[in-house]
Amino acid sequence: MQIGLYALRRLLLLVPQLLLISIVTFILIRMLPGDPARLQLGPLAPKAGVEELRRQLKLDQPIPIQYIAYLERLIHGDFGHSWVNQSNVSSDLALRVPATLELIGYGLLVVLLVHIPLAIITAARGGGIVTRLLKRLTFGYGLLAGALPDFWLGLLLIFIFFVRLHWTPGPEGRLGVAVTPPTHITGFYTIDALLTGNFNAFRSAAAHLVLPVVTLSFVYGAPIYKMARSTMTAALRSDYTTYAEGLGLPRWRVLWYAWRNASPPVVVMFGVISGYLLGGAVLIETVFDLNGIGQYAVQAITTSDYAPIQAFVLVAAVFTVLVYLVVDLIHYGIDPRVRRTRKA
């Protein structure tokens, strides 16, 4: 109940935030060099034709009117028209957003299933030979991973696992050349392929995701891992842990108490990283040619293609703000102190 009210208030705050975001984007985009009408028609087109197109695109109107026209179209779900690809931006997004979300989703899943347990194990005192070895390895990992450029690591993995070992497919996109995409249901190729029973497509999609997902989780899991390890170490050194151990509680239970206290900063870090990745995954997308939304935006920027950039920034901002909302809600659920201060 309380959490519902809190969520509602945050959602209401979203509206002015998004309006402001759209205004800032709009102004920024209009400052990009190049006359879009001229860009579309080419340098040899007659002047009259360019003028006509400017009128059609409302580029001859003052900026506020351009903005209001843009907002009106937005409300009707019209993200505009890409004049480089000659395509509808909404349908482009429908194809490309799932590609990026698939990459980020699996990447963060790996972080959740591998990095977090590792952090908990390596934060604990003592342990056998395996644990000590893990500690050594992960110490090096924590130092190194944050410093490696993701695009370079992707290239390196391609060289090792595709060029030399032939274990994985090359950087040719989301599917093999001869594989037809599964029927569009969610846009996530792996899920769609499973839903339609298209195992050939599933194998291909999964194989093409392995290296990008490993790259992403290796590089962007590092700050999450480090945060989890340090908060967990602090929690395990606390008085309540000593007390719990003194009571003779089972080991997993002690770890669970400590983890609950250690997790809020980790949740925040998760949120920050996933918010960053929607645009930040662009380098991984480029290296593996995944045709994600970041790659789409980069192409649009280099060709002065206004509509896709605007759409991308808006989608990314909405996504980021929603992620932060979810993070705050989880935080609210885990940490009773937050509840107390938010009420006051």
Partner 1 sequence: MREIDIAEARPRSRTAGLAAAARLVRGARLSPLEVVALVIFAVILFLALFGPRIAPYPTETANPLLRLLAPSRAHLLGTDVNGMDIWSRLLAAPRTDVFIAVVATGLSVLVGAPLGVIAGYFEGNRRRLSSLVGEGIMRLLDVIQAFPVFIFAMVLVAIRGANVVNIVAAVAFVNMPVFLRLVRGEVLQLRDQPFAEAARVVGNSDLQIGFKHLLPNALPPLVVQISVTVGFAILLTAGLSFVGAGIAPPTPELGNMISEGAKFMITGQWWPSLFPGIALGIIVFTFGVVGETVGRLLQPGGRAARERGGDLNVGAQQAVADMVQEKRGVS
Dist CA 39 CA 59 (whole Å): 13
Dist CA 251 CA 316 (whole Å): 42
Alpha carbon separation from 221 to 100, 214, 224, 267, 316 (Å, rounded) = 17, 10, 5, 13, 20
Which positions touch partner 1 (CB under 8 A)?
Answer: 17, 20-21, 24-25, 28-29, 31-33, 143-144, 146-149, 151-153, 155-156, 158-159, 162-163, 170-171, 275-276, 278-280, 282-283, 286-287, 294, 297-298, 301-302, 304, 309, 312-313, 316-317, 320-321
Secondary structure of 130-192 in HEC code, one letter for each residue: HHHHHHHHHHHHHHHHCCCCHHHHHHHHHHHHHHHCCCCCCCCCCCCCCCCCCCCCCCCHHHH
Dist CA 136 CA 310 (whole Å): 46
Residue 290: strand, helix, or coil:
coil
Least distance to partner 1 from the beta carbon of 244, Å? Answer: 24
Phi, psi of 198 (to 5 degrees): -90, 80
String of b and e for 96-119 (b: at least 16 CB within 10 Å)? bbbbbbbbbbbbbebbeeebbebb
User: Which residue blocks in the chain are alpha helix, DSSP H?
Assistant: 2-30, 36-41, 47-56, 63-75, 89-110, 116-123, 129-145, 150-157, 189-195, 199-236, 239-246, 251-280, 282-288, 293-302, 306-334, 336-343
Residue 87: strand, helix, or coil:
strand
Q: Tell me 82's DSSP state.
A: E
Element (H, E) at 88: strand 87-88
Dist CA 282 CA 272 (whole Å): 16
